[in-house]
Amino acid sequence: MMLNPPPQPRISSKLIMPFVKSTMNVFTTMVKIKPNITAPYLKEDGHTTYDVSGIIGFSGGLLGSVIVSFQMETAHQLVNALVGAEVETNSPDFADAVGELANMIAGNAKKDLGLVTSIGVPSVVIGNCHIICRLTGVPCVVIPCHTSVGDFAVEVNIKPVA
Amino acid sequence: MKFLLVDDSRTMRNIQKRILAEIGTVEFVEAGDGIQALQVIGVTADGFQLILIDWNMPNMDGITLVNRIRTTDKKTPLVMVTTESEKSRIVEAIRAGVNNYILKPFTPEGMLEKIRLTLRIAA
């Protein structure tokens, strides 16, 4: 007996494109490093893409979270460029700067998401191969970003409230 | 001149200080949320030539802080610096009494232009 495979989870591009636009805007304007953003893809596993994560939760018309995930040295260089000074990666200022980048990306995207929604204050997780639990049954879309100082990714795991 | 910078992100306060140092000789006072800001301000905001306020902060958010300041002080220039870019938010902030509104992300030139304009109008 043939069984039909479960339907693939779907996510509207209307929920993804605002983050593409916002990421370009934030990094071009405030970090002065323009990212090359390539084709988004569906994330299959639970690990964040890289080792430094800025996490923003969504509530109201949208539920879920957006994670901005960096290679460590990429985060270091981008934070230095944002702040205009050397920031040690083991300092609270480093985590604060990562959180602020995530805050600006999520905040800047919010108005184009088409729903009344709020964002929380950022959290930052630093460590190899960490896992951040996401909404179950909701696709996580990864937006790959490439810069002159390395790669990072914006992971979008949000859904409209029914 | 004395400016109060209210933002829960020390990174953002440091960026603002770096940019606003171009204005001239400025003493910067900082607060990480609305409650800290009110403690710094005291009864009125006299003594500050400008207060920059983030919207989304823990303990007391920026719009609440603006409303609280304007109950006793109608004159000190208040500038909201935030990612909140929906028209309804901007209208809400203006109705609460902000003098200008700067969206994050911003360029140094963009911020300086708005701050200089705000100070010129207030003078």
Taking contacts as CB-CB distances below 8 angstroms, the residues of chain B near A83 are 11, 14-15
Taking contacts as CB-CB distances below 8 angstroms, the residues of chain B near A99 are 9, 11
Q: What kind of fold does domain A13-25+37-160 have according to CATH?
A: Chemotaxis protein chec (3.40.1550)
Q: How far apart are CA B81 and CA B102, in angstroms?
A: 5
- Quick one: pLDDT at residue A4? 64
Taking contacts as CB-CB distances below 8 angstroms, the residues of chain B near A103 are 9, 56, 83
Q: How far apart are CA A129 and CA A142, in angstroms?
A: 16
- The answer to whether the CB of A107 falls within 8 A of the CB of A93 is no
Would you kindly state where each structural domain of chain B is located, as residue ranges? 2-122
Query: Smallest Cα–Cα separation from B54: which of B42, B41, B37, B39?
Result: B37
pTM: 0.90
- Quick one: pLDDT at residue B35? 96
Local confidence pLDDT in tens for the 162 residues of chain A: 666 655 555 678 889 999 999 999 999 999 999 999 999 999 987 788 899 999 999 999 999 999 999 999 999 999 999 999 999 999 999 999 999 999 999 999 998 998 889 999 899 999 988 888 888 888 899 999 999 999 999 999 999 987
Q: What kind of fold does domain B2-122 have according to CATH?
A: Rossmann fold (3.40.50)
Give ipTM to 2 decimals: 0.87
SS3 assignment, position A95: helix
Q: Is B37 in CB contact (< 8 Å) with chain A?
A: no
Q: How far is B57 from chain A (nearest CA, A)?
A: 7
Q: How far apart are CA B31 and CA B34, in angstroms?
A: 8
Would you kindly state where each structural domain of chain A is located, as residue ranges? 13-25+37-160
SS3 assignment, position A3: coil
SS3 assignment, position B17: helix
Residues of chain B with pLDDT under 50: none
**What amino acid occupies position B31?**
A
